[in-house]
Every structure is written in C-alpha cells, then in structure tokens.
Chain A
Amino acid sequence: MDKKDSQVVDVSAQAMNIGTGVTGMAAGFAVTLKNMVRSVPGRNTVTIQYPEQRKPYSRRFRGVHALTLRPNGQLKCTACFLCATACPAECITIEASSVTDDAIEKVASRYEIDLSRCIFCGFCVDACPEEAIVMTREYDLATHNRVDELQYDISALTRREEIQAYGAGYRPHMQYPLVESYLPTEISAKPQDDID
C-alpha cells in the first residue's frame, strides 16, 4: 500500500475522549460481575479443591505407562524395540538379553522411560504388537527432582501402587480384555462418573 493512501489515526485525540474509556471499562466489568454472580458457591463452580477433589476424565486417558506381565509374572515385553522406534521424543531406552527359559527367547533386561521427555502421545502403546506396554490414568507427576524421580525403570513401570490406584488408561484395543497378560496390580473399580 502506498504511504499516502494510509489513514492517519490520531491516538491522543481518542485517548482524550473520556466517554470511550468509561464505556469500555464498564463493558469489561460487566463480564466480571456476571461471572461473579454466576459462580456464587454451590452454583456452576468451575474451581475445585484439588487434590482432595478430582474431576472425572476419560477412561482412555494417556497417563504414565505400565508394562504388563505374563500369567507367570514375567515381563511380557520381548524387547522388539518397536516402541522405542515409534517414540517421537526418544525417551525409551531398552536393552535386551536372552534367557534360558525354553518358552521365551528374548526379554528386556533394561526398560526405561524418561518421563521428563515423554509427550504422552501413546505411540509406544500403538506400536506394541503384544500389549506389553499400556498407559494408565495416572496424571499427577509433580516431583521434587526431575533427574531421578522421572526416570521410570522396569520396577517403577510394573510395581507402583499408583498403577492400581488409577487403573489402566489408553490402549489400542480397549473393547477387548488384555490377552494372556495382566497389569502388574489388579485394576481397581473405576469411578462411575468417568467419561468414555
């Protein structure tokens, strides 16, 4: 646009116009007042008293991962590296080793998820051909130390109380039960008011 075509607005003249300022302010405070009236305690409250109070959320929530176990208690993961390959955040570290068990050839001797890097996309769960990794509904992950406390190894991914407390979340075939495996600790009954 050519310079001479542009319209020149005199801002200082508008600022001197007291009427514009007052109506603008009044409109703003009207919204505040409306919401204040609406949110009188007991009526349409949005704020809750977390962590004592919690909101219902999806049964398919993508929270912290859990590794599933075989009926005999062994890790179901065979260290095929598909989850680590699919991971866009590159937060999964696996080391494989062989076992002498006749039925199983290869197991993960090390399986670590760096939750400080994880973006909870669930690609690892999608990639797993064996449902060896699923997500739980656990979402409150605040820690004092992100270096150590957010590095989850095999024992953290299988034997934490929270897995039981929150229950299983996202996995690709949610309409079917887990095949020949179970979550490390039995999944507790879910709250009734959860959203599907």
Chain B
Amino acid sequence: MIRLTIDDREITVPEGTMVVDAAQELGIDVPIYCYHQALGPLGACRICLVQVEKMPKLVTACTTAVQEGMVVHTRGSAVDKGRQGVLEFLLINHPLDCPVCDKGGECFLQDYTFQYGSAAGRYDEPKIHKLKDAAINEFIIIDQERCVLCQRCVRFMGEYVGEEQLLLEGRGVETVVSTVSHQPMDSQFSGNVIDLCPVGALLSIPYRYKARPWNLERAESVCPHCPVACTTSVTSREGHVIRVEGRPIPGHDWGWLCDRGRFGYDFGYVEDRLLNAWLDGEITSAAESTRTIGSWLNDTLEQHGGDSVAFLVGGQQTMEEAYQIRRFADEVVGTSKVAVSRSVKGYLPLGLNGTFEDLDRADTIVYLGQDPYDAVPVVHLKVRDRYRDNPGLKVIGIGAYDLTRSTVPGDAFVLEPGEEAAFLAYTLAKVAASNPIIARLGEELGDFSPTFKGAKSEQEVETLGRQLLESEHLVLLWDGKDPHMESVLLALRGLREDVTAVLPTFGPANWRGFERAGIAVDYDRLEAFVEEAIQGKIHLLFSIGADLLRDYPDRERAKAALAAIDRVVSVGLFFPEQRELYHAVIPGAGWSEVDGTYTNMEGRMQVAKATVQPPGQSRPVRTYLGSWAHALKKSFVLEPEWDPFDHNAGDLIAKDALPEVQSVPKPARPAMKDGALRLVGTALVMEGGMPSEILQPRIPKYPGRISLADASRLGIGEPGGELGLRGQQGMISVMVAVDERIPQGVLVLPYGVVGSPLNQLGDGAVVEAVSLEEVSLR
C-alpha cells in the first residue's frame, strides 16, 4: 500500500493505482476523456493534467502511478492554465454546434470547457471539415468533427471486445475515427461506444434528435431480454421510452450492454403491440372482457372445480407479478396447476449456481452446448474480461458445434448432438473411476464412446477430465437442454474440492425469480400440464405472458393441448402465435411499465423501476387478477407487498441443499441417411425475443446455420439461401447461412424465432434437406 497526499488530503491505495483513481476515491474530480478503468491508461487527451510536487512539469493523472509520499495538486493556477490550453487545442477544429448536438447537456467537452476553458478561442484560421452524420452501422452515427480522438471507442472494440472494427485513420489534424475497411460495424457490443464517447462524436441513431438531455427522465432498470439482466438506465420523455444506457455499478459491473439490450427497447411501441382486449377475434372494451372472463372463470369453477383451471406463465414478468399469480391460483381459484412455459428441459439446482464474480476468478471456463456470445452476450464480454486479466484462462467448448471464438480462444470438443452430458460423465469416469457415484454413471453409460468431429484423441479426453477435476476455479456455462446434465454437474461438484460454479444460460429471463416467488419451474410441470390439457382435464387456461406454440419443444402437441381446452385466455404484450386458438386476448403491461424485481442467472435480485404508463388499454397483470377476483365476488388483496429479498443473503437468493445424483442414460443415436441433417437448437438473443423495429435491420434474414460442406452440396452460397426440410410434417422451408464452426450434418436453428421451424420438427430430429430448386422441379 502506498500513502500519498492529494489536495492536502492523505490516502492509502494499492501499488499501481493511477493518480486519477486515487483522487476519485477521495471524491476529487479530475477531468478525463481517454481514461477508462476497464481500458487502462493511455494518456491521449491530456486533460487530466495535475501538478505533482518536485516534478518539473504538469503530469497526466491517468498515466502516473502513485508513489510513496507523492504530493498532488489537482487544482491551482498552473493546472487550470494547463487544462485551459489543452481545451483550446481540442476545440480548434471543433464545430461548436452544441445547440444541434444530441450530447449537448451531458457532454464532457461542454462541461470541462465551462469549468476550465477560456471564454473565446484565439484561432482565426478556417476550421478543418471532416465527415459529419455518417452511419457506422444501423444504430450509430459518427461526427468526426466533434471527436477529440480519445480512442476510447477504438480501444474498447479492439482491446476489450477483441473485435477490431474501429480504427484511427489519417495523420495529424486529419486523424479521424473510422471503421475497418469502411465496412459497417457488426459486433454485438457496438452500442457501448455511444456510452463510452465523452463527446458528441458517436451518437445513437434511434435516439437522434428525440430530446435534449435536460428534459429527460431516467429510471434505474434491468434489461429484460436475457437471463444476464444487465443493469440499465432507461430514459423516457413524455411517457415514451427513447433510450437505454448501461448503468455501471462501481466495483461490480462495467455497465456494458449488448445491442439487443441497448436498442431493443421499442417492443412496447411496435405495430403489433396489443392495445385492446379481443374476445373471439373481435375488439371489445376492457370492461366487457373482464366481465366475460370473470363469468368464464365462475362457470368453470362451478362446473368442474378449481383443478380444471390452469395457469401458464411466461417467465418474463417481475417476481412480484409471479407471486401475485401464484397467490391468485392458490387463494382465489384453488388450483395447483401453474406451469412455466419453457423451451429447454434442464433445471439447475440453486446450490450449484455461481455468480459473475466466479467468472472474474475463474481459471477454467467450460461452455456446455451454447456459445455465450449468442445467448447471453454480456457473459461473453465478462469471459473476455477475465481472459484479458489472465491470458492463461482455459476455455473449453463442449457441444454439437465449435462453441469457441477467436476473441476468447479455447479448445473445442465437437460431439454428436445431445451427447454433452454423456460425454462429460464418460470423461469423468476415465479419470475418477474410483468414486462410487462416477463409477455408477460410467456403468449406466455402458459401451458409450463419444465420436468427435475433428480429431480428438482419448488422451485429450483424459486431459479434459483432469482439468475438470483439478482446476482451481471452475465455471461451467450450461445451456439447460439435456436434463441429465444436472446429475453430471452434481457428480462433478461432489468430486471437486475447489469452487465449482455453474451459470445457467437458458431462459426464460426471470425463471429463477419465478421459482423464488413460489412457482415451480421444472419442465415436468409443463409436460404434465400439456398432457392433462390433451386429455381434456383442463377447461380454462390463463396464459400470462406465455406463448406455448412458440416455446414448447413440440409444436403439434402444443397445438393439440390448446385446442382441447374449452377456453384459453392470453394476457400479454402481443398476440400469441395462432391467435385463433385463444378465446380471449387481453393486453398486458411489461418491462418499463411495471415496477418490480427480476432475478438473473446468478440468482441475484435487481429492482427495475417503471418509467412510463402502459399504452392503450393495456394494464399490469395484477389489475386483471384483482378484477377477476372481483367477478368471483372474492377478495384478493393486492396491497400487502411481498419483499423478495432475503435478510441474510442480501440480493442473492439463499442457496439450498444439493439434490441427489440421478442416472445418466446412454444417448440414442438416430440413424443418419446420406444427405440428412440433424437439428440442434440454440438460443439467439439478437434473432429471438421481442419484436423491435430498431433492431430489424440487424436481425439476419437467415436464422439457420449449416456447415460449408453441406451448403456447397445443397447449393447455398453467400449470404445464405432457402433450404427445404422434409420431416414427418412434410416439407418446411428455412433460411440458412453458412457458419464455419458447424460440422457437416448439423443444422443449428434458434428457439422461438419466427422462421425457425425447430419446434415443428423437434430438437435433435433427423431431417432430409433438399435445396428448394429441386422441390420446385418435382
């Protein structure tokens, strides 16, 4: 630890701390443009000049490490004169167009010029003109004249994300920030450069000219799109959400967002948003729909009893809403049939659940079945952050295709689809056969042996096994697809002495919160509900924020279930798929319209505040629950607020005891004919999720991905093409693109995406693929 004095106040900080950070700890504000704690020192902008006693000249606080006995002055005539000079140079070619600049009002160049700059410039020559208003991708506009060349954006993309898409071009006064080869940026993390830019050079296109910063309202919120639940700040004006920014939490989170989270906020305003109640395909008044649904509920309860009513919930709502739904089912209706609509079958016991702090300390990270970049992008960024700190980080991808990326290089084990659990058990049995549980798992697998696409020797499998056993801090990211993986993970945890943390990358986004609110999320519940519905045991269904046809792995079965129910009521932001199956569709309120708590994949509860009023006739779920209870002439008190937070565990859900290890069966391998493709489901946060007009240009036309070999065989070139899939339901067409990471014979399709027939054909199904030209010839 090092002691130093800043502005006559003493502070003790660890060695290697920069003066600017030490000053910040004391609450002393040193102006900065180029420095960012996540990116490290650069010293490009020179605005952070401070005076250090016994040093001949002013020094930059962001590149000067603290030293014992240092005496720093952050203000004073010399410092102010230095900063004034720096600002005069920064402003020489600045257009001074603050009145038309979206940053004006929250701009560091403006603020520091007010604080330190001179009132008038002395530069009389004409200003150099550069590119203004040039889009660098669908969401971001660059104004090179306003740029102060701090290089935050360039360094963030190149060094932090590892996708070099921005660079400095030109020399001297002609230097500008530009994209590589003048191609649009396509990174998932491109929007972060808007938050990083200290001046008005990189601005958001959807937010452009929407407001000035001083007439905005900001509310602390949480991103609703994936289980990472990044902390965000939602900006609204006149009751309309117009911007989402990252909300850094010092010492815990940098506040990075992916583009889905940053720009996908307009789902509340798209054309498809439900604004009216619909009864049997006709628009009706809110009062009429409430009366009708209340009478349906009344009739069903009288004729068939409470157990004939079921609730299907989507897992996107707040924990408070989930709690109210469960209470309504218990107390008013008297049914135990509350199921969560899900796409994957796996469940992760809370005791195994790790946190993002585990990622920060990990020495080995294993991806199980899912590339986090696709499903939970910010987790990929956290892994990359760890890789930057610790280049020795071992990353292992185990799945049906190569899950690793060049930004975080790793070792990929490419297996037959759906064999991750068996492979992991097989690997553990190789290195820890003496353990009775592992030995039992090994026996159950029988003569299973994995086949690798791409050469992997038995020795490499053994090395993997030893890594899994011996690594000091193991983190596994699990896609939740194979329910047997739970047992393998439990067995692995039992073998290891060091930390074993598992992070579930699967949705729905708030499933852990629903569990906390008392709604069991296991897949068996959903399966039991579908089975009972098909048997005609359910007469009234409330589908709240759920879309069974979109989520359930077997579309035909879901359709049969919904068709067999007498009356189906849907509450949501949008029409569910095949709305003719629903008897009433009433508009719900969602994220940014209701206050509430969300739980993320760490099991961490975070509060999101409501910013705007629900549009049209849409109302929060609790309003509907209250009115239905009223129709039954029962009292349902909504007021006593439930506090989801635990007094002992804080914002994390308290861990419970681990369950027993179950069995892991030997996976069955379907026969593959020549030219057949095996389907592999994956979660894609950009393509999937709620509709957004802003994101539309970025969402690829081709949700499917196939190997280069299959593509050339089927005649699919760049950028992609249409493929016919012949399954049990006849011919289904799907748009596919080529992905080099996918092995031959595999077709990767996303869950819950329009144009992805995954749940029509079934995850893991073998389908015959034909090029569509061939079909039209027949």
- Do the two chains bind? yes
Interface contact B99-A129, CB-CB below 8 Å = yes
User: Closest B-chain residue to A108, C-beta based?
Assistant: B209
As a 0/1 sequence over residues 75 to 94 of chain A, the CB contacts with chain B under 8 angstroms (1 = contact) are 00011111011000000000
What is the bound-complex CA distance between A98 and B100, given in angstroms? Answer: 10
Chain A hits for B215, CB < 8 A: 81, 84-85
What is the bound-complex CA distance between A78 and B209, given in angstroms? Answer: 10
Q: Which residue in B97, B99, B132, B210 is a CB contact (below 8 Å) of A82? A: B99
Interface contact A105-B214, CB-CB below 8 Å = no
Q: What is the minimal beta-carbon distance from A75 to any residue of chain B, in angstroms?
A: 13
Interface contact A98-B208, CB-CB below 8 Å = yes
Asked if A126 is at the interface (CB within 8 A of a chain B CB), the reply is no
Interface contact A80-B209, CB-CB below 8 Å = no
Interface residue count on the A side (C-beta < 8 Å): 14
Interface contact A105-B100, CB-CB below 8 Å = yes
Chain B hits for A105, CB < 8 A: 97, 100, 132-133
Q: Which residue in B104, B209, B214 is a CB contact (below 8 Å) of A97? A: B209
As a 0/1 sequence over residues 17 to 52 of chain A, the CB contacts with chain B under 8 angstroms (1 = contact) are 000000000000000000000000000000000000
Interface contact B214-A85, CB-CB below 8 Å = yes
Q: Which residues 196-216 of B sit at the A interface, judged by CB distance below 8 A?
A: 208-212, 214-215
What is the bound-complex CA distance between A119 and B98, given in angstroms? Answer: 28
Q: What is the minimal beta-carbon distance from A128 to any residue of chain B, in angstroms?
A: 9
What is the bound-complex CA distance between A106 and B104, given in angstroms? Answer: 13
Asked if A130 is at the interface (CB within 8 A of a chain B CB), the reply is yes
State whether A79 and B209 are in contact (beta carbons under 8 Å apart), knowing that A105-B97, A105-B132, A105-B133 are contacts in the complex: yes
User: Closest A-chain residue to B143, C-beta based?
Assistant: A105
What is the bound-complex CA distance between A130 and B97, given in angstroms? Answer: 12
Q: By CB atoms of chain B within 10 A, which of A78, A84, A97, A105 has the most? A: A105
Asked if A118 is at the interface (CB within 8 A of a chain B CB), the reply is no
Chain B hits for A156, CB < 8 A: none
What is the bound-complex CA distance between A96 and B97, given in angstroms? Answer: 15
Chain B hits for A106, CB < 8 A: 100, 209
What is the bound-complex CA distance between A80 and B200, given in angstroms? Answer: 14
Q: What is the minimal beta-carbon distance from A94 to any residue of chain B, in angstroms?
A: 9
Interface contact B99-A130, CB-CB below 8 Å = yes
What is the bound-complex CA distance between A79 and B101, given in angstroms? Answer: 10
Interface contact B214-A79, CB-CB below 8 Å = no
Q: Which residue in A84, A98, A129, A130 is a CB contact (below 8 Å) of B209? A: A98
Chain A hits for B132, CB < 8 A: 105
Chain B hits for A80, CB < 8 A: 98-100, 104, 212
Q: By CB atoms of chain A within 10 A, which of B99, B214, B215 has the most? A: B99
Q: What is the minimal beta-carbon distance from A136 to any residue of chain B, in angstroms?
A: 23
Q: What is the minimal beta-carbon distance from B759 to any residue of chain A, in angstroms?
A: 43
Interface contact A81-B212, CB-CB below 8 Å = yes
Chain A hits for B104, CB < 8 A: 80
Chain B hits for A85, CB < 8 A: 212, 214-215
What is the bound-complex CA distance between A130 and B104, given in angstroms? Answer: 16
As a 0/1 sequence over residues 414 to 447 of chain B, the CB contacts with chain A under 8 angstroms (1 = contact) are 0000000000000000000000000000000000
What is the bound-complex CA distance between A106 and B133, given in angstroms? Answer: 11
Chain A hits for B209, CB < 8 A: 79, 96-98, 106
Chain B hits for A78, CB < 8 A: 99-100
What is the bound-complex CA distance between A13 and B214, given in angstroms? Answer: 67
What is the bound-complex CA distance between A80 and B97, given in angstroms? Answer: 10
Q: What is the minimal beta-carbon distance from A104 to any residue of chain B, in angstroms?
A: 8
What is the bound-complex CA distance between A105 and B131, given in angstroms? Answer: 12
What is the bound-complex CA distance between A118 and B53, given in angstroms? Answer: 58
Interface contact A98-B133, CB-CB below 8 Å = yes
Q: Which residues 209-226 of B sit at the A interface, judged by CB distance below 8 A?
A: 209-212, 214-215
Chain A hits for B210, CB < 8 A: 96
Q: What is the minimal beta-carbon distance from B65 to any residue of chain A, in angstroms?
A: 42
As a 0/1 sequence over residues 130 to 158 of chain A, the CB contacts with chain B under 8 angstroms (1 = contact) are 10000000000000000000000000000
What is the bound-complex CA distance between A93 and B133, given in angstroms? Answer: 25
Chain A hits for B133, CB < 8 A: 98, 105
What is the bound-complex CA distance between A88 and B98, given in angstroms? Answer: 23
User: Closest A-chain residue to B211, C-beta based?
Assistant: A81
A-B contacts besides A81-B211, A85-B215, A106-B209, 4 pairs, CB < 8 Å: A79-B209, A81-B212, A105-B97, A105-B100
Interfacial residues, chain B to chain A (CB-CB below 8 A): 97-100, 104, 132-133, 208-212, 214-215
11 A-B pairs with CB atoms under 8 Å apart are A79-B100, A79-B209, A81-B211, A81-B212, A81-B215, A85-B214, A85-B215, A96-B209, A105-B132, A105-B133, A106-B100
Q: What are the 6 A-B residue pairs with the smallest beta carbon separation, nearest first?
A: A80-B99, A96-B209, A106-B100, A81-B212, A78-B100, A105-B100
